[in-house]
C-alpha cells in the first residue's frame, strides 16, 4: 500500500513538473516574440553619432536583414464553400507584396473556377493543376511539393483553403525572417467558435455547440503544447496551415520531398528542421498571426481527424516527436485510470486531479493568449479537458491498432 502511494505521488508530481516546464516554454516563446516586435533600428540621432565605419557596418546589417519576398502556398480539393472567405482575408492583408501559388488537387466542385477568378482579380497568382495524386504516400504532401516547385519567394508560407488569415499575417510572419538564423516559423490556429458564422450554422443543439467549442479548445490546447516544447528548444510539431519556412532551410535539409512519409507532414517538416540543428524554430503566440479554420461538423469527422493526428505522432519518423506524444498520452491514461479506480482506491484520484489541473493550465494560458471569450471558453476548459481524456484515449487506441486513415476521400498509407 505504501509503495502504491509513493508511486502515485511520484507520477502526480512528474505530471505537474512537466507542465510547469511547458508553461515556462510558452512564456519564453512569448517573450522572444515580444523582443522581436520591439526590436527596431536606431534613431537618426544615433546614426549621426556613429563613426563612418560603424554606420557602414550597420547599413550592411540592415541590408542583410531586409524583408524577404514571400510566397503563400495553398492546396485545395473541393473547397468551393471555403475559398471565398480565404481569398477575402488575403485581399485584406496590410502587406500586399507577396505572390500566391494555388494548387487545385483534382477538385470536382467549383474550386477551380473560384481560383481562376481570384487570379484574374488580384494578379501575382500561379495556379497549379494536379491531373492525379501520388500512387502512394500523403496526397497533401504531394500537392504541397508541386506548389513549392512553382514558388519563387525566399519564404514559403503555408495555409489551407478552409482558413481565414488575420490582416497582419503576412507582415508579421515576414518580419520574423529578418533574423537570418530563423529557419521555420509556426503560428496559432483555432477553429471557428460558437457564434462565428460562415456557411453552415453551428448552433443547432447542445452536442453541436459542445463539439464546436471543444474543437477550438483542442486546437489551442494542442498548439500550446507544441509552443511549450519549441520554447524549450525541442520543436516537434505545429499546425501546417500556419507555417512558414525559408527556402534556404528547405534546401539545406534536402528539399521538401526528402521529408519522410507521414500522415502529419507538418510535424515531419518541423522535426526535420530541428534535427538538422542549423536554424532556429520560432513559435508564435500573438493574436496578430492567429488563423481561424473551419470546424468539423460531425463527430465521426472529428474522430477521423484526431486518429490521423495520433497516428502521425505515434508512428512519427522522429523519435522526439514519438516520445513526447507518448508521454502526454501516459498522463491522460494515468488521469483516466485514477478516475476509474478512485471509488475503491481514493488515493489514486491524486493522479486524476494532477492531470486535469496541469492540462487545464495549458488550456487556460493558451485561451488567454489566443484571446478567447472568457465566459464561453475559459469556463469550459475543465469540462473539455475531462472529455479529452476519454476522447483522446479512444482515438489513440484506434491509432495504435493502425486502422485505415481517410483524408479527403483518400485512404492514406499506414505508418510504422
Q: What is the pLDDT of residue 142?
A: 86
Please give the Cα distance from 263 to 122 (Å, whole number).
Answer: 33
Cβ neighbour number for residue 410 with a 10 Å cutoff: 15
| Average pLDDT of the chain to the nearest whole number | 84
- The HSE-up count of residue 110 (CA atoms within 13 Å, CB side) is 8
The C-alpha torsion from 100 through 136 and 410 to 86, rounded to 10°, is: -10
Asked, for residue 266, whether it belongs to a domain, the answer is yes
Domain that holds residue 146: 67-201+235-296
| Positions in the chain whose pLDDT score sits under 50 | 40-50, 55, 58-64, 195-203
C-alpha cell at 211: 463539439
Asked, for residue 308, whether it belongs to a domain, the answer is no
Q: What is the pLDDT of residue 356?
A: 93
Cβ neighbour number for residue 68 with a 10 Å cutoff: 15
Note whether 70 and 153 are within 8 A (CB).
yes
How far is the CA of 122 from the CAs of 92, 112, 334, in angstroms?
11, 15, 53
Asked, for residue 136, whether it belongs to a domain, the answer is yes
Reported as a single tens digit per residue, the pLDDT across 73-121 is 999 999 999 999 999 999 999 999 999 999 999 899 999 999 999 999 9
Asked, for residue 158, whether it belongs to a domain, the answer is yes
Q: What is the pLDDT of residue 63?
A: 46
Cell numbers 453552415 label which residue?
200
Asked, for residue 91, whether it belongs to a domain, the answer is yes
Q: What is the pLDDT of residue 51?
A: 55
Asked, for residue 15, whether it belongs to a domain, the answer is no
- The HSE-up count of residue 183 (CA atoms within 13 Å, CB side) is 20
Q: What is the pLDDT of residue 57?
A: 52
Please give the Cα distance from 269 to 236 (Å, whole number).
Answer: 9
- In DSSP terms, which residues pair with 280 in a beta bridge? 182
Number of domains the chain is built from: 1
Q: How many residues does the chain have?
A: 416
How far is the CA of 37 from the CAs of 31, 242, 284, in angstroms?
10, 19, 11
pTM of the model as a whole: 0.85
| 19: nearest Cα among 407, 364, 298, 263 | 364
CATH number at residue 184: 3.90.550.10
Note whether 358 and 15 are within 8 A (CB).
yes
| 91: nearest Cα among 69, 126, 124, 66 | 124
Asked, for residue 123, whether it belongs to a domain, the answer is yes
Instruction: Return the SS3 of 179.
Output: coil
C-alpha cell at 285: 503566440
Amino acid at each position: 500500500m505504501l509503495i502504491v502511494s509513493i508511486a502515485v505521488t511520484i507520477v502526480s508530481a512528474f505530471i505537474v513538473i512537466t507542465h510547469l516546464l511547458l508553461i515556462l516554454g510558452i512564456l519564453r516563446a512569448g517573450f522572444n516574440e515580444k523582443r522581436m516586435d520591439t526590436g527596431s533600428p536606431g534613431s537618426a540621432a544615433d546614426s549621426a553619432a556613429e563613426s563612418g565605419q560603424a554606420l557602414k557596418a550597420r547599413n550592411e546589417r540592415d541590408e542583410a536583414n531586409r524583408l524577404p519576398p514571400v510566397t503563400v502556398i495553398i492546396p485545395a480539393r473541393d473547397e468551393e464553400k471555403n475559398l471565398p472567405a480565404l481569398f477575402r482575408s488575403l485581399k485584406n492583408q496590410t502587406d500586399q507584396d507577396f505572390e500566391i501559388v494555388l494548387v487545385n488537387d483534382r477538385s470536382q466542385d467549383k474550386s477551380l473556377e473560384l481560383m481562376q477568378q481570384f487570379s484574374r482579380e488580384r494578379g501575382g497568382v500561379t495556379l497549379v493543376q494536379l491531373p492525379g495524386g501520388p500512387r502512394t504516400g500523403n496526397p497533401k504532401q504531394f500537392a504541397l511539393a508541386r506548389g513549392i516547385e512553382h514558388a519563387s519567394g525566399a519564404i514559403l508560407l503555408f495555409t489551407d483553403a478552409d482558413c481565414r488569415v488575420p490582416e497582419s499575417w503576412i507582415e508579421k510572419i515576414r518580419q520574423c525572417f529578418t533574423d537570418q538564423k530563423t529557419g521555420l516559423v509556426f503560428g496559432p490556429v483555432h477553429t471557428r467558435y460558437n457564434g462565428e458564422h460562415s456557411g453552415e450554422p453551428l448552433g443547432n443543439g447542445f452536442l453541436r455547440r459542445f463539439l464546436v467549442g471543444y474543437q477550438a479548445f483542442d486546437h489551442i490546447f494542442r498548439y500550446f503544447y507544441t509552443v511549450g516544447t519549441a520554447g524549450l528548444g525541442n520543436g516537434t510539431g505545429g499546425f501546417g496551415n500556419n507555417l512558414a519556412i525559408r527556402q534556404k532551410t528547405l534546401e539545406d535539409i534536402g528539399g521538401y520531398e526528402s521529408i519522410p512519409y507521414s500522415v502529419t507532414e507538418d510535424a515531419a517538416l518541423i522535426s526535420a528542421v530541428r534535427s538538422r540543428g542549423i536554424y532556429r524554430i520560432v513559435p508564435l503566440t500573438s493574436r496578430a498571426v492567429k488563423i481561424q479554420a473551419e470546424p468539423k461538423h460531425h463527430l465521426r469527422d472529428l474522430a477521423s481527424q484526431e486518429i490521423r493526428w495520433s497516428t502521425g505522432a505515434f508512428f512519427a519518423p522522429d523519435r522526439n516527436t514519438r516520445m513526447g506524444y507518448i508521454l502526454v498520452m501516459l498522463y491522460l491514461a494515468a488521469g483516466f485510470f485514477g478516475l476509474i479506480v478512485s471509488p475503491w482506491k481514493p488515493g489514486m484520484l491524486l493522479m486524476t486531479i494532477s492531470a486535469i489541473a496541469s492540462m487545464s493550465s495549458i488550456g487556460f494560458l493558451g485561451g488567454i493568449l489566443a484571446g478567447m471569450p472568457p465566459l464561453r471558453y475559459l469556463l469550459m476548459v475543465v469540462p473539455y479537458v475531462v472529455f479529452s481524456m476519454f476522447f483522446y484515449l479512444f482515438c489513440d487506441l484506434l491509432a495504435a491498432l493502425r486502422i485505415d486513415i481517410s483524408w479527403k476521400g483518400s485512404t492514406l498509407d499506414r505508418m510504422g
